[in-house]
Structure 1
Amino acid sequence: MGVFVFLPLVLPLTAWPVARLAEHHLHPRAATWLLTVVAGVMALCSTLCLALVMVVGTAQLPGNPLPDGWSDPEVRAAVPFDEVVGKAAIPALVAVFAACVRTLWRHHRVRVEAHRALLGTSATSVAVLDDVAPYAYALPGHRDRIVVTTGLLGRLQPAERRALFAHERAHLTHRHHCFLLAVQLAARANPFLRPLRTAVVYTAERWADEEAAGAVGSRRVVARAVGKAALVSRGAPAVTLAGLAAPGPVPRRVAALLAPAPVVRRWPPAFTAVGLALWAATAGTLLSAMSSANAAVTMVLILHAATPL
């Protein structure tokens, strides 16, 4: 197994070029799905890798409750520098666990507080708050709702308001908060995956922009709504709650809406530079998964052979 056990930890370094290629050359829907799956698989693989090297690297330490066979030389030989990386993996895993728990707790708290703030409003799919602060966001839950303030509605023309509601409905219909939360957790598990988190925030907004453009029948109207909301809005209360004026490259979104609609296709042609690069990214993700699976199976077999009956 050797140094290949560490492969899942370094493959996420490819996240930046993968994110750039997907943003520019895939339909926003396909890019969102691809980047989220890549981020999730790589995060799980890197976390599994840390857990494996921690078990192997600490099994031979005095006072460790693991079976004696787990400190067998044959087991330690499977991971280079087993003692050093094993000890280093302990704080790394603690940090990953703490960061993911904190992210989940913050996401849950924001959603609970947002729903609590709407208790006095009518039970409709759109909650209009009497607030001069201009903002709007999609609030998922048992009853999905669109939250918008009078401060934002007063700054939009009727057609732009329709674009706003179509944009937020697209977020709820396609469950964009799940994609955003998944890449947020992946970035907490492995910091090398942060480019994918940033890219998915952008592609999810682009996906909703395209859905809104199709609903209102005008890409220019949606572009105006996005531009106006970005200028005056403070955005959603959390990055995992999507909104029309979400943080990110708003000028790129407006420019994309003023350009022709993207071609809806599942994947670029294989024998092009972009197609080959994206296939390589997919292959890297599969390689990471296979490396982690191979490491786990190898360790189980070695430990089974080393543990006395």
Structure 2
Amino acid sequence: MIVTVYLPLLATLPLAWLAPMLGRRCAPAVAARLLTFLAGLAALVTLGALGLLMIGATLRRPELSREVATQIADGDSVPAWLGALASVGLAAGLIRLGRILARQRHAAQALHHAIAAHTPGSDQELVVVPDSACHAFAVPGRCGGRGRIVVSTAMLRALDASERRALLAHERAHLRHRHHRHALLLAAAQAVNPLLARLRAEGEFQIERWADEHSAHTTSRPIAARSLAAAALHPGDGRD
């Protein structure tokens, strides 16, 4: 029980703090993939450990058959209070996970409906919306369909032609490399294990760096930097 449950569960604690430092020593694309993998692994370990603790405590109940109870070594028995805590933690994690997945689904549906209403009958990649606030974001396609890039008119006015190319390259990187899947897995991992919040934040930061690097390679590093700086200088901006 110590090797199969307690040690893996405790290992998620230093992982949540050490993984971001490891990620910063790698290229953004490698770091984002690595942190996403580690977050998913830590979440699975957390679910498995909590589940085993809950089962271990349940098997100690006196109403179970003696044959089943004697299969558990005395040193591997789980206290009832620990099993109860594991049950609560497992249930809370699954509830948070379900809420995140539901919110993600509803948000994606709302975005696709809004885009369809704004550009009826069109499947163009770039969608320009009239808005006084600066924002730009990528919307993944449904069922493998084409993704869309939504940019406000205020954002376009804030950038020159070369900076616009850098901005679009940044958003295309999100679509091409399916960054929304990385972000969703990071969010799901934190829902299962809240101690992974720092790992999630670093993973999302590396995803943005990954897109920035793609933008820099597509245009140039100075142009990509100017585009990022120009977008950041406008209050209320959003760039994902």
How far did 1:151 drift? 1.3
SS where residue 232 of structure 1 aligns?
A: coil
SS where residue 177 of structure 1 aligns?
A: helix
User: What whole-Å deviation, never above 9, does each CA across 1:129-179 have from its counterpart, x for those lacking one?
Assistant: 112221110100222111111111111111110000000000100001111
Aligned counterparts of 2:124 and 2:58: Cα–Cα separation in 1: 56
* Structure 1: stretches of 5+ with no match in the other structure: 237-244, 247-309
Aligned counterparts of 2:67 and 2:223: Cα–Cα separation in 1: 64
Which residue type is aligned with residue 229 of structure 1?
A: A
Contact residue 35 and residue 203 of structure 2 kept, 8 A? yes
| Structure 2 residue 231 is the aligned partner of structure 1 residue 229 | yes
SS where residue 147 of structure 1 aligns?
A: strand
Aligned counterparts of 1:126 and 1:181: Cα–Cα separation in 2: 23
| Structure 2 residue 126 is the aligned partner of structure 1 residue 126 | yes
Contact residue 128 and residue 152 of structure 2 kept, 8 A? yes
Aligned counterparts of 1:70 and 1:168: Cα–Cα separation in 2: 60
How far did 1:104 drift? 0.5
Structure 2 match to 1:181: 184
Aligned counterparts of 1:32 and 1:188: Cα–Cα separation in 2: 18
Structure 1 match to 2:27: 27
CA pair 70-213 structure 1, distance change in 2 beyond 3 A:
farther
Structure 1 match to 2:44: 44
| Structure 2 residue 101 is the aligned partner of structure 1 residue 98 | no
TM-score, normalisation: structure 1: 0.70
SS where residue 206 of structure 1 aligns?
A: helix
Q: 1:116 aligns with which of 106, 113, 118?
A: 113
Which residue type is aligned with residue 218 of structure 2?
A: A
Contact residue 130 and residue 154 of structure 2 kept, 8 A? yes
How far did 1:231 drift? 2.9
Structure 1 match to 2:199: 196
* Structure 2: stretches of 5+ with no match in the other structure: none
CA pair 78-127 structure 1, distance change in 2 beyond 3 A:
farther
Aligned counterparts of 1:188 and 1:155: Cα–Cα separation in 2: 37
TM-score, normalisation: structure 2: 0.90
SS where residue 233 of structure 2 aligns?
A: helix
CA pair 71-53 structure 1, distance change in 2 beyond 3 A:
farther
Aligned counterparts of 2:67 and 2:26: Cα–Cα separation in 1: 47
Structure 2 match to 1:85: 82
Aligned counterparts of 2:33 and 2:5: Cα–Cα separation in 1: 27
After TM superposition, the structure 1 stretch with the greater mean CA deviation from structure 2, 163-172 or 124-133, is 124-133
How far did 1:225 drift? 1.1
CA pair 3-235 structure 1, distance change in 2 beyond 3 A:
farther
User: What whole-Å deviation, never above 9, does each CA across 1:241-300 have from its counterpart, x for those lacking one?
Assistant: xxxx34xxxxxxxxxxxxxxxxxxxxxxxxxxxxxxxxxxxxxxxxxxxxxxxxxxxxxx
Contact residue 144 and residue 172 of structure 1 kept, 8 A? yes
Aligned counterparts of 1:194 and 1:90: Cα–Cα separation in 2: 21
Contact residue 167 and residue 212 of structure 1 kept, 8 A? yes
CA pair 232-68 structure 1, distance change in 2 beyond 3 A:
farther
SS where residue 220 of structure 1 aligns?
A: helix
How far did 1:26 drift? 0.5
How far did 1:220 drift? 1.2
| Structure 2 residue 217 is the aligned partner of structure 1 residue 220 | no
Contact residue 53 and residue 79 of structure 1 kept, 8 A? no
Which residue type is aligned with residue 229 of structure 2?
A: G
Aligned counterparts of 1:148 and 1:88: Cα–Cα separation in 2: 47
How far did 1:80 drift? 4.8
How far did 1:84 drift? 1.8
Structure 1 match to 2:138: 138
Aligned residues: 233
Contact residue 5 and residue 79 of structure 1 kept, 8 A? no
How far did 1:62 drift? 6.5
Aligned counterparts of 2:84 and 2:185: Cα–Cα separation in 1: 28
